[in-house]
């Protein structure tokens, strides 16, 4: 069972608010041979308690690296949940067009490229799949150590499809906004096909909860550049965290106000933007 000790956020969470980055785990599904993270079960009913506590209505379930190319855990879950859920799946480059169509009809909308430990994918896969999905409504979702962004910026910048970058870059160190890696992220975020998730502050921060104050300058620099392609995600159930470092999901919503988003901008980030991208 998931820890449901989230507090109610201080901000008014608008109707239709979406968590665009969370995961399910269920040990009735086999793990990938490359898996290194084996959390206890975190199931739809566990997340429902979080949703109700913090005022969220919609979710985007992201394929965990634990299951590799086997997306059944999350697809079976969103089939039970219904139209308030979408999925981001992980697929091999040789997937057929027919199988991609099947995934689309199962409410998958993104293809995940988790270019970190346990990855089933290679950087060379991204241009291949980008060419296949351009103009279709699919997008590529990319997670990396953002300190590598100067190396991979040219590849990402040239992708001809919609791209979503996870966790504000997920830097392995909390850098300043003028760092070359964050400047690379800002350049990418300025492109009309690139979206960024205001999520994962706890992955970057060295100062820690509840405010993750050292991440605020990074978030604010993205917000100052424009909010029409920014998203929010909790990254629930936070299986890499300890009792001491476990985030409060309600407090993660309040960070949007801490970072200077107005009520109208929060409506965009939580409701309007995800509805556009994921087709709610």
Strand order from edge to edge, sheet including 18-22: 18-22, 58-62, 85-89, 108-114, 139-143, 162-165, 194-198, 230-232
Q: What percent of the chain has pLDDT over 90?
A: 94
High-pLDDT (> 70) share of the chain, %: 99
pTM, 2 dp: 0.96
Per-residue model confidence as pLDDT tens digits over 154-181: 999 999 999 999 999 999 999 999 999 9
DSSP string, 59-89: EEEEPPGGGTT--HHHHHHHHHH-TTEEEEE
Q: How many CB atoms lie within 10 A of CB 65?
A: 23
Selecting among 26, 166, 235, 254, the annotated active-site residue is: 235
Would the pLDDT of 1 be above 50? no
Tens-digit pLDDT profile for residues 234-258:
999 999 999 999 999 999 999 999 9
Using alpha carbons, list the distances in angstroms from residue 47 to 6, 24, 225, 234: 11, 8, 32, 11
Structural contact between residues 90 and 111, judged by C-beta atoms closer than 8 angstroms:
yes
Active site residue 235: yes
pLDDT at 3 (0 to 100): 53
Report how far apart, in Å, the C-alpha atoms of 195 and of each of 106, 135, 206, 269 are. Answer: 23, 16, 25, 11
Tens digit of pLDDT for each residue in 83-126?
999 999 999 999 999 999 999 999 999 999 999 987 899 999 99
CA torsion, points 44, 49, 52, 54, in degrees to nearest 10?
-110
Asked whether residue 196 carries a pLDDT value surpassing 80, the answer given is yes
Domains of the chain, CATH where assigned: 18-278 (3.20.20.140)
Mean pLDDT score, 5-32: 96
């Amino acid at each position: 069972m998931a820890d449901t000790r989230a507090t109610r956020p201080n901000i008014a969470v608008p109707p239709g608010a979406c968590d665009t980055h969370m995961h399910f785990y269920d040990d009735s599904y086999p793990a990938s041979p490359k898996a290194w993270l084996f959390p206890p079960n975190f199931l739809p009913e566990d997340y429902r308690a979080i949703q109700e506590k913090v005022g969220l209505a919609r979710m985007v379930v992201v394929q965990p690296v634990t299951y590799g190319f086997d997306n059944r855990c999350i697809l079976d879950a969103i089939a039970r949940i219904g139209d308030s859920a979408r999925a981001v799946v992980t697929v091999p480059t040789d997937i057929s067009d027919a199988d991609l169509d099947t995934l689309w009809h199962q409410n998958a909308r993104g293809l995940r490229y988790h270019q970190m430990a346990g990855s089933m994918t290679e950087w060379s896969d991204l241009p291949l799949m980008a060419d296949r999905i351009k103009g279709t409504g699919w997008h590529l979702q990319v997670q990396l150590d953002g300190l590598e962004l100067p190396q991979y910026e040219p590849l990402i910048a040239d992708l001809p499809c919609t791209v979503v970058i996870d966790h504000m870059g997920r830097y392995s160190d909390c850098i300043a906004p003028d760092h070359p890696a964050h400047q690379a992220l800002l350049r990418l975020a300025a492109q009309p096909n690139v979206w960024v998730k205001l999520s994962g502050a706890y992955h970057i921060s060295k100062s820690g909860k509840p405010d993750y104050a050292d991440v605020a300058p990074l978030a604010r620099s993205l917000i100052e550049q424009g909010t029409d392609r920014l998203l929010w995600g909790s990254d629930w159930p936070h299986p890499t965290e300890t009792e001491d470092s476990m985030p409060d999901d309600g407090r993660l919503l309040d960070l949007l106000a801490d970072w200077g988003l107005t009520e109208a901008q929060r409506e965009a980030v939580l409701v309007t933007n995800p509805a556009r991208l994921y087709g709610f």
